[in-house]
Structure 1
Amino acid sequence: MKSLMKWIPSTRVLGLCRKTNNVCFSWLLYLAITAFLGFLIQMQLKFAMKLIADGNKHVFHFDQNQDDSTRNVIISGYAKGGGNVVGEVLGSRPETFYAYEPLITMAESYYFKNSSTMCTTFLDTCFKSTLTDTALDTLRNVLACSNINIGEEYHQKWDTGGEVWLKYHECLLDKEYSKEFCDKYLSHQCKRATVKVIKSERMSTELLGTLLREHSNVSVVHMFRDPRGILFVNRKSPALSSLSSASGLKKYASSLCSRMRDDLKAGLELATLYPKRFKLMLFEDFRLDMVTVLRPLFRFLGLPLATNDKNLVEIVELKKALAKYNREAGHNAAVDIEQLRLDTEDSKLTKVHPFSWRKEIDMKMLKIIDEFCGDLYVKLGYNTYENVKKLRDLTNWPSYGGGGIYPL
């Protein structure tokens, strides 16, 4: 209130104006109104800086922004290719702002191949497009924590993005707060994070190279997964019922493996140009020995690996459980899925093994995929299977470091 009172004209000044003319009074009135409006704006800003909601409502803090030392990580890959797991492990840490699929609203079933081309994800079809710059700008906006236009679909992932997205989601649902206010809260939380993680499977490694060139604090980890595993897992998706037919499977296999070839070629070039900021890794290596892979991954990204990290503890416990079943099954490096199903009612454990598809896929489907993807197996370090016996033997996989095309 003192800041307001000092601007209110004194009675002495008012008396002086009474002896002059109305112009003086108009000027004083203008000053008084301006001061009052300034006072109101100041109070509103203080209120916005720390809005406290009662009862079950959350507290929305607008703290000071961090400096330019923020680390930015982009996890790229393919649908059902393992990127979600890595993104959520990195993104759920307290110092991290996690952005899940920011391009999903503009390219739900497509990906950006180059500066002028988009392709369908599940069909072997590409076409000219002018949206690539818009897509790159969307990722740039997330990196800058400005105008994070995520769309309604993005809100469905609030539960995997940590406390920030939980509060943002509840802010949007609360009629007391406008969307503009909630967006400002999100932007402030993004800016105060020391690490930003973007998970996106809708942009080629060639285009991600643009962001590497533009931002010295951006790192990219591109994840490959055995295309046979991706195709087999995706066949269960309601949106991909066409995979049940041979013609639909051929189109998806052709599209997926053509994209993988392009990503591998551009990725190897980027790994040479930016060895400290671009890495290729295999989903299978990560899933088979998550703790072993997490350590060099965090080191590559320049992130501290907290010993009390909740996710790491969960992963360690899961690894112990898997090791127990390995020992009981008599295996050294892999889980016998069928035995695991008999030994435990926890179905989640049966889904951990990255090669579980080998227990179910039939040779007919395998041969169709081999026709379009066979050359990639050697390049990526995967085995080929001439018969059912070799296919079903889950111990037939190198230990960590032997299967990776570009070990961390």
Structure 2
Amino acid sequence: MNTRTCTIYIGTLEVLRNRRRFQQIKMKRRQWLRLLLTVLIVIFSISFVVQMYIYSVGNYIKSKPMKYARRLQRNTPTRGVLIVTNYRSGSSFVGELFNQHPNVFYTYEPLVPVDLQNMTSIVDTLRSTLSCNFRNLTEDNSEIDKLKWTGQKCVMNNICFRTRTKELCSERFCAAPISCAKCRRVETHELNSICESKAISATKVIRLRSLSILETLMQDKKMDLKILHLIRDPRGIASSRKKLNNYNDMVGTCARMYNNVNLSLIKQPEWLKGRYKLIRYEDVAINPIKMVEKIYDFVGLDMTDSIRKWIHINTQGEISISKDARLKKMFMRRRKLIRIKYQQFKQLVLSDAYTTVRYSNATWQSWRKELNNSDTDAIQTQCKDVMKLFGYNLLHPETKQLVDFRILNPLASFDERTLTV
């Protein structure tokens, strides 16, 4: 091979080598461009998704500001509502008005596992409940041990009466949410988290003997607490207790009602002013929508269509097995034992001492048929001052006043602003 041929061959190889190098460089550039484009698309997509999420959350918060009020304003005092009443005074219905509201976390009787002789323990329990700072219920609690089976359920669920709090019967915790069955234990951090997501924490107690115990709690600047004091005609309370064979006399009950109202509305201490409201069960039963609007206005809640519907169902004697956990459980248990029809079950529910479903306009006077003359006389003698104070007319059994509803209405007009002792 001569020199000229070698030169041409070498030159050709060099050209091919340069072309290949150029193509490799070009390919690498294309790869980098594709990678850069992919990165830009990903960044743009993430940015778009984040912006849409922020926009949607912003709109949701605007549409339901109360639900996220506590979450967005950590420095504001915790809003709490404490329903104080006596045993068999209609408090389950009033408490359920808060349980049904979407902006409320409601708990039922938190003082059950508490030593009622220990005032500090009572206040601490109410503070932790109403400030969404729940604590573990441990098996070494002597008060829980006294409750036997109820206490075991409290420890097992880490909260007492979980079926009374609708959020704790949801699909998040229960395999059968409608009947609140097959539920796992609720951890303390979960209780606190759910409670904090609501605008208000509410609870109902029948074991609080005196409102004066609450003074330190009401003066806590970290708490924005309001008290609903529910009272009922002593004759109605006695009649309801007799159905459960849990009635002796009304002296202690009436004394407690009198002392609490004397403190809150007559003496009017500074720590209760503007934060206490007295309501009569009978007024709620006769005109539920109007009274519930007043209650919600006092605590800072809005009335919703779903609440109106719930009130109508539960005050007109209507029942919905598919939507009520307790009723469904009760119905299925009865069906297993005996063949029972819906109408028979409805009458059974309406006669149940613990149901919130009533013909409310008739129920508040049912004691007139259920109490005998001697019981009525005894209660009116024991509770004469309290009944006069709250606008409950005395009926005289020797006449037809007790059985003839046309003769005398046992309920007089009432305005807490005009109370005098």
> In the TM superposition, what whole-angstrom CA distance separates every residue of 1:280-312 from its partner, at most 9, and x where no partner exists?
111111111110111121111111222x2x232
Alignment-derived partner of residue 81 in structure 1: 89
| Amino acid aligned to 1:218 | L
Q: What is the aligned counterpart of 2:238 among 227, 231, 252?
A: 231
Do the aligned partners of residues 359 and 226 (structure 1) sit closer, same or farther apart at CA in structure 2, a change above 3 Å counting? same
What do you get for the CA RMSD once the two structures are aligned?
Answer: 3.4
Q: What is the aligned counterpart of 1:222 among 229, 237, 240?
A: 229
> In the TM superposition, what whole-angstrom CA distance separates every residue of 1:62-98 from its partner, at most 9, and x where no partner exists?
x967623542100010011122211111122122111
Cα distance in 2 for residues equivalent to 1:232 and 1:103: 25
| Amino acid aligned to 2:300 | G
TM-score (structure 1 length as normaliser): 0.62
Cα distance in 2 for residues equivalent to 1:187 and 1:137: 16
Alignment-derived partner of residue 391 in structure 1: 402
Alignment-derived partner of residue 97 in structure 1: 105
**Structure label with greater radius of gyration:** 2
Cα distance in 1 for residues equivalent to 2:267 and 2:130: 20
Cα distance in 1 for residues equivalent to 2:199 and 2:78: 5
Between the two proteins, the alignment pairs up a number of residues equal to 288
Matching of residue 405 in structure 1 with residue 416 in structure 2 = yes
Shift of 1:397: 3.5
1:182-331 to 2 correspondences below 5 Å: 182-203=187-208, 204-215=210-221, 217-238=224-245, 240=246, 243=247, 249=248, 252-269=249-266, 273=270, 274-306=272-304, 308=305, 310-316=306-312
Range with bigger deviation, 390-399 or 283-292:
390-399
Cα distance in 2 for residues equivalent to 1:398 and 1:373: 14
1:45-60 to 2 correspondences below 5 Å: none
| Amino acid aligned to 1:374 | K
Conserved? CA contact 2:316–2:358, under 8 Å: no
1:2-151 to 2 correspondences below 5 Å: 67=74, 68=76, 70-106=78-114, 129=117, 131-149=118-136
Matching of residue 367 in structure 1 with residue 381 in structure 2 = no
SS in 2 for 1:214: coil
Conserved? CA contact 1:222–1:281, under 8 Å: yes
Cα distance in 2 for residues equivalent to 1:256 and 1:140: 25
1:341-360 to 2 correspondences below 5 Å: 347=350, 348-350=357-359, 353-360=363-370
Cα distance in 2 for residues equivalent to 1:66 and 1:183: 22
SS in 2 for 1:392: coil
For structure 2, the 5+ residue unaligned runs are 1-69, 138-143, 145-150, 319-342, 351-356
SS in 2 for 1:389: coil
Conserved? CA contact 2:80–2:224, under 8 Å: yes
Do the aligned partners of residues 64 and 382 (structure 1) sit closer, same or farther apart at CA in structure 2, a change above 3 Å counting? closer
| Amino acid aligned to 1:195 | I
Q: Tell me which stretches of 4 or more aligned residues in structure 1 moved more than 6 Å.
A: 171-175
> In the TM superposition, what whole-angstrom CA distance separates every residue of 1:296-351 from its partner, at most 9, and x where no partner exists?
21111111222x2x2321323566789xxxxxxxxxxxxxxxxxx9xx96845446
> In the TM superposition, what whole-angstrom CA distance separates every residue of 1:355-382 from its partner, at most 9, and x where no partner exists?
2111221111112212221121111110
Alignment-derived partner of residue 354 in structure 2: none
Aligned-residue identity in percent: 24
Conserved? CA contact 1:90–1:96, under 8 Å: yes
| Amino acid aligned to 1:211 | L
Conserved? CA contact 1:69–1:194, under 8 Å: no
Conserved? CA contact 2:130–2:201, under 8 Å: yes
Conserved? CA contact 1:379–1:405, under 8 Å: no
For structure 1, the 5+ residue unaligned runs are 1-62, 113-128, 244-248, 323-340
| Amino acid aligned to 1:86 | V
Cα distance in 1 for residues equivalent to 2:317 and 2:170: 30
Cα distance in 1 for residues equivalent to 2:415 and 2:136: 36
| Amino acid aligned to 2:244 | S
Cα distance in 2 for residues equivalent to 1:159 and 1:132: 27
Shift of 1:272: 6.2
Conserved? CA contact 1:77–1:222, under 8 Å: yes
| Amino acid aligned to 2:239 | F
TM-score (structure 2 length as normaliser): 0.60
Shift of 1:106: 2.2
Shift of 1:402: 1.8
Conserved? CA contact 1:66–1:193, under 8 Å: no
Cα distance in 2 for residues equivalent to 1:362 and 1:174: 45
Alignment-derived partner of residue 159 in structure 1: 163
Cα distance in 1 for residues equivalent to 2:283 and 2:128: 32
Shift of 1:219: 0.4
Alignment-derived partner of residue 35 in structure 1: none
| Amino acid aligned to 1:300 | F
